[in-house]
Copies of this chain bind each other. A is one copy, B any other.
Amino acid sequence: MSVQADKAAAGRPRKADDIAEKISESILAGKFEAGARLPTEKALCEQFGVSRTVIREAISRIKADGVVNSLQGSGLYVAHPFQRRSFKFDQNFESELSRVTGLFELREPVEMAAARLAAARHTREDLARISAAHAAMINAADWSEEGVTADLEFHHAIALATHNVHYANFMAFMASELRDTIRTARAQSGRPEIKRITVEQHARILRAIERRDPEGAALAMHSHLEHARTGQKFPDQPE
Residue numbers of A with Cβ under 8 A of B are 6-12, 16, 20, 34-35, 37, 56-57, 60-61, 63-66, 69-72, 74-75, 77-90, 102-103, 105-106, 108-110, 112-113, 117, 149, 152, 156, 162, 164-167, 169-170, 172-173, 175-176, 179
Given contacts A83-B8, A176-B83, contact A117 B105 (CB under 8 A): yes
Quote the shortest CB–CB distance from A13 to chain B (angstroms).
11
Query: Once the chains bind, are A106 and B117 in contact (CB under 8 Å)?
Result: no
Evaluate whether A65 and B86 lie within 8 angstroms (CB atoms) in the complex, with A7-B77, A57-B57, A166-B102 already known.
yes
| CB neighbours of A81 from chain B (8 A) | 156, 172, 175
CA distance A34 to B9 in the complex (A): 11
Show 23 A/B contacts (Cβ-Cβ < 8 Å), sorted by A. Answer: A7-B35, A7-B71, A7-B75, A8-B79, A11-B69, A11-B71, A20-B64, A60-B61, A61-B63, A64-B64, A82-B149, A82-B176, A84-B172, A84-B175, A85-B173, A87-B88, A87-B173, A90-B169, A102-B166, A106-B110, A106-B167, A108-B113, A109-B109
Residues from chain B with a CB closer than 8 A to the CB of A37 are 7
**A10-B69, A57-B60 given. 8 additional CB < 8 A pairs?**
A8-B69, A8-B80, A11-B70, A60-B61, A83-B176, A87-B173, A106-B164, A109-B113
Are A166 and B82 CB-contacts (below 8 A) given A7-B69, A87-B88?
Answer: no
A159-B45 Cα distance, complex, nearest whole Å: 37
* Interface contact B172-A105, CB-CB below 8 Å: no
Q: How far is the CA of A91 from the CA of B87 in the complex (A)?
A: 15
Chain B residues near A56 (CB-CB < 8 A): 57
Cα distance A77–B5 in the bound complex, in angstroms: 12
5 A-B pairs closest in CB distance: A61-B64, A82-B175, A109-B113, A7-B77, A86-B86
Residues from chain B with Cβ under 8 Å of A16 in the complex: 60
Whether A164 lies near B105 (C-beta < 8 A) is: yes
Q: Which residues of B contact A170 (CB under 8 A)?
A: 87, 106
- Establish whether residues A86 and B173, one from each chain, have CB atoms under 8 Å apart when the complex forms: yes
Residue of B nearest to A107 (CB): B166
Please tell me if the beta carbons of A176 and B66 are within 8 angstroms of each other in the complex.
yes
